[in-house]
């Protein structure tokens, strides 16, 4: 793997394609008078995003899940702020709740978090501006998640660079606030609802994860990994194999990746 490690983050230069010295193009659609204004518009952007409903629903479901597994409402709120990744939180809640081995929980969470790595890699060049301090990049790095990433990559390029971090942070605070409040709502609803509606709340998590994973699956390989994961996950759980999530992920994911490589090799002309 060719990875160029830089000695210091603050020494990093922008990619060749977007030199900072170039004057901003005239085509910036949105400009903000100040950083607080950009931050505020970021919050508004989160509340009007389609992710608002998805996050609200997902975390209401997660609140019900946390209630079901006897984890506290405040514990869930802290996990939302610290972990800030729906899949990792669902794995954490269900694994802790069913008494899985700590090492399995940690490895499963770590495997689910790998997708954050390419997102940070792709997002930072969009957020960076000249003479940016490292501490200004810590917060956007922690905030990186599927929802924030998709909306940042969509909205930031139409803004001047000096507004981007503030806007993106506003977006993240809007999403995180929605998630935290949704968690509390789900938690307290789950305790007092008739069983059928409590069941429907619990059903939000797998349903929204199934659908949002399918929506993010653009390549054949992603769809294959989804199908293999569903089948393998069911089989290994039914057979009560230990560390089933790990085998599902590493085995199923590697299988999907290898099939994708084979298909690519066949499609390419013989050299």
Partner 1 sequence: MSAATNALWPYLLLVLLGFLPNEIWRIVGLVLVRGLNEDSQVVLWSRAVATAILAGVVAKLILFSTGSLAAIPLSVRVAAAAIGFLVFLVARRSAFAGVAAGEAALLIGGYFFAN
Q: Report the residue from 10, 24, 34, 53 that binds partner 1 according to the rule CB under 8 A.
A: 53
Residues 87-146 binding partner 1 (CB under 8 A) are 87-92, 94-98, 102, 105-122, 124-125, 137-138, 141-142, 144
Which residues ranging from 238 to 257 are in contact with partner 1 (CB under 8 A)?
A: 238, 244-245, 248-254, 256-257
Contact call for residue 211 and partner 1 (CB under 8 A)? yes
Closest CA to 32 of 132, 176, 161, 171: 161
C-alpha to C-alpha distance for 136 and 146, rounded to whole angstroms: 20
Instruction: In angstroms, give the least distance from the CB of 157 to partner 1.
Output: 16
Q: Residue 35 or residue 200: which is nearer to partner 1 going by CB?
A: 200
Of the candidates 122, 150, 142, 140, which has an alpha carbon nearest to the alpha carbon of residue 80? 142
Our finding on whether 83 is near partner 1 (CB under 8 A) is: yes
Q: Which of 5, 29, 239, 271 binds partner 1 (CB under 8 A)?
A: 5
Sign of CA dihedral 165, 170, 171, 172: positive
Contact region with partner 1 (CB under 8 A), list: 20-28, 38-46, 173-181, 234-242 = 234-242
262 lies in the site for partner 1, by CB under 8 A: no
Number of residues that bind partner 1 (CB under 8 A): 109
Euclidean distance between CA atoms 164 and 145, whole angstroms:
16
First to last CA, the chain: 23
Burial class of 178 by CB neighbour count within 10 A (0 to 12, 13 to 18, 19+): buried
């Amino acid at each position: 793997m060719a990875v160029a490690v830089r000695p210091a983050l603050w020494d990093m230069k922008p990619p060749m394609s977007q030199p900072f010295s170039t004057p901003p193009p005239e085509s910036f659609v949105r400009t903000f008078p100040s950083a607080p204004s950009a931050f505020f518009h970021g919050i508004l952007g989160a509340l009007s995003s389609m992710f608002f409903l998805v996050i609200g629903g997902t975390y209401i479901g997660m609140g019900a899940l946390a209630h079901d597994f006897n984890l506290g409402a405040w514990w869930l709120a802290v996990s939302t702020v610290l972990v800030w990744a729906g899949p990792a939180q669902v794995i954490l809640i269900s694994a802790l709740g069913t008494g899985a081995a700590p090492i399995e929980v940690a490895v499963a969470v770590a495997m689910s978090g790998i997708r954050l790595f390419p997102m940070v890699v792709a997002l930072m060049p969009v957020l960076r501006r000249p003479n940016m301090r490292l501490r200004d990049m810590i917060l956007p790095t922690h905030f990186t998640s599927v929802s924030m990433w998709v909306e940042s990559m969509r909205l930031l390029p139409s803004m001047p660079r000096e507004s981007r971090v503030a806007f993106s942070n506003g977006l993240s605070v809007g999403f995180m606030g929605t998630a935290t409040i949704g968690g509390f709502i789900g938690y307290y609803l789950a305790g007092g609802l008739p069983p059928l509606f409590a069941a429907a709340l619990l059903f939000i998590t797998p349903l929204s994860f199934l659908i949002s994973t399918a929506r993010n699956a653009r390549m054949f390989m992603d769809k294959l990994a989804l199908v293999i994961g569903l089948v393998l996950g069911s089989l290994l759980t039914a057979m009560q194999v230990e560390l089933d999530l790990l085998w599902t992920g590493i085995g199923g994911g590697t299988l999907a990746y290898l099939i994708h490589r084979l298909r690519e090799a066949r499609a390419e002309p013989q050299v």
